[in-house]
Homo-oligomer: A and B are copies of this chain.
Amino acid sequence: MAHFINERSGLVTDAIDGLLAANGGRLARLDGYPEIRVVLRAELDPSKVAVISGGGSGHEPAHAGFVGSGMLSAAICGDVFASPSVDAVLAGILAVASPAGCLLVVKNYAGDRLNFGLAAERARAAGIKVETVLVADDIALPDAAQPRGIAGTLFVHKIAGHAAASGASLDAVAAIARRAAGAVQSLGIAVSTATIPGSRPEQRLAEGEAELGLGIHGEPGIERITLPKAADLAQQMTARFSGAVAGSKRLALLVNNLGSATALEMQILTKAVLDTPLGARVVLVLGPSPAMTALDMHGASVSFLALDDAFEAALLSDTDVQAWPRARRVAAPQVRALPDGLRGGLEPTPSRDDAAAGAITAVCEALIGAEASLNSLDAKVGDGDTGSTFAAGARAVVADLDRLPQADPVALCRALGERLGRAAGGSSGVLMSIFFAATGSALSDGSSWPAALGRGIQRVRDYGGANPGDRTLLDAMIPAVTALETGGIGAAAHAARAGAAATAEMRRAGTGRSSYLAASDLAGHEDPGAVAVAIAFEALAAQAEGATK
């Protein structure tokens, strides 16, 4: 697979430049490319403790994406999945540490521990007050000597960042950060590995397999499982949480997209986790959101934090960091009744009008009679069902004739629209329904019949997307309605038939299935929808002539 990059070697610096460009001047970087990649807040409050984090890249938005008010003062970016150098970390410390000192939030990986650790010692030697907190929230291996730091680190960033922004001392910021680190646990699940942009994907999982307890660098999971349904997966995963999390009555939950799980899946997983016994104790939910990713890994992690009032206030506090998954209180889903008037509404009062009934019957019988010939015509340019579509609508109307409000033109049009929409399938049914509904609404506004029909046509054009000359029923309908206004129904029928005939010479079909055919396949064949319209107008004209005789 190709990737949207320039040079593989400039992956991280190019990406940081993109982050800076799209952040409205709130962020800056140090002039240390390519080795020193430090993103910092453009405006720092020198009276506040600085909070610094970082690590390998490939976890975006972590960590540079979390630099901002009430979160990180700076982020040190290593190469993809590699710890930043001691010099880079030291540069970050020297750049943002205030007289109040700085806290380093370090994920528990040997490289990060060592490089952040040595940088901290060097900074101390330079007279800077530095504290460090290690985050080791991964519970994949319950007895691991050195659990990894994964997405739960976000909680520590926010809680430490809020304490620092509130003016707490370094000792106090470090203390609450350590308390948060001790109160968070995380577990990951994935169905694919991570691919470094510029590299080729590796696939180590078979169809239907997933890895439980994986890391954020593509390292294998602790267990390979057949992925169960989301509800079962959530049960399995949440059952593994223990310690402070299992003992807490109030939890915060972060649902982290590891990269390329779809939003649909993430929302489903979030609901599934909230529906577990552990999930029932969640009062704040963060995400689902990409927070600590593993490039494009198709996976997710869930992190639980045992809440107290201080943590809760910190998680709910404001920040200008766009990527921060804002904490929301869990609320029972609000389900509202369907609105009145949706399903059918009031049936119109039936009424009798011989002229209307005669006209409707004439049109319907003509269309029913033309079913086979219209289908046959459509088979040459489409899928051969135009005749059946019109006939189905006609049959439904005839069957319902006595229940129609024949004497009330507005109600009659709406009722026809409603019945045609139900009886005739596909786009044609919807278009006929739109036509009659819009015509009825125009009549109710006081329009004349030709003007009202014109409104119906306009809506068909708007929603159907066809224009005159596109080989549709509009090519018969538009001339017919135009002729109706000046020449009456006989002229309309002539115009409709002439319009239908003209479609045989039209070389392009603007919409519908015919639009996929070549011009040569269309030549010489009339559009069956236009012919149906001509048949309808001719039936109306014949009926009107018969009535006047």
Cβ of B430 and Cβ of A335 under 8 Å apart?
no
Cβ of A2 and Cβ of B227 under 8 Å apart?
yes
Q: How far is the CB of A35 from chain B (nearest CB, A)?
A: 10
Chain A interface bracket (under 10, 10 to 19, 20 to 34, 35 or more): 35 or more
Given the known interface contacts A259-B260, A260-B296, A433-B118, the answer about A6 and B329 at a Cβ–Cβ threshold of 8 Å is: no
Given the known interface contacts A15-B263, A267-B19, A322-B325, the answer about A2 and B114 at a Cβ–Cβ threshold of 8 Å is: no
Q: How far is the CB of A96 from chain B (nearest CB, A)?
A: 9
Other-chain contact of A121, B23, B124, B434 (Cβ < 8 Å): B434
From A282-290, A361-369, A480-488, A498-506, the one touching the partner chain is A282-290
Other-chain contact of A24, B20, B329, B337 (Cβ < 8 Å): B329
Give 7 A-B contacts (CB < 8 Å), ordered by A residue. Answer: A2-B226, A4-B261, A22-B270, A22-B274, A28-B335, A111-B427, A117-B434
> Chain A's interface: helix, strand, loop or mixed, by majority?
mixed
Q: Which residues of B contact A298 (CB under 8 A)?
A: 1, 260, 296
**Which residues between 7 and 64 of chain A lie within 8 Å of chain B, taking CB atoms?**
7, 11-12, 14-32, 36, 40, 42, 57-58, 60-61
Q: Which residues of B contact A209 (CB under 8 A)?
A: 2
Question: Is A465 engaged at the interface, CB distance under 8 Å to the other chain?
Answer: yes
Cβ of B31 and Cβ of A87 under 8 Å apart?
no
Given the known interface contacts A288-B18, A336-B31, A421-B86, the answer about A268 and B437 at a Cβ–Cβ threshold of 8 Å is: no
Cβ of A95 and Cβ of B336 under 8 Å apart?
yes
Name which residue of chain B comes closest to A14, CB basis: B268
**Which residues between 95 and 148 of chain A lie within 8 Å of chain B, taking CB atoms?**
95, 108, 110-111, 113-118, 121-122, 124-126, 132, 134, 145-146
Report the separation of the CA atoms of residues A209 and B2 in the bound assembly, to the nearest whole angstrom: 6
Q: How far is the CB of A383 from chain B (nearest CB, A)?
A: 15
Report the separation of the CA atoms of residues A477 and B209 in the bound assembly, to the nearest whole angstrom: 47
Name which residue of chain B comes closest to A192, CB basis: B1
Given the known interface contacts A118-B433, A121-B438, the answer about A326 and B322 at a Cβ–Cβ threshold of 8 Å is: yes
Q: How far is the CB of A389 from chain B (nearest CB, A)?
A: 14
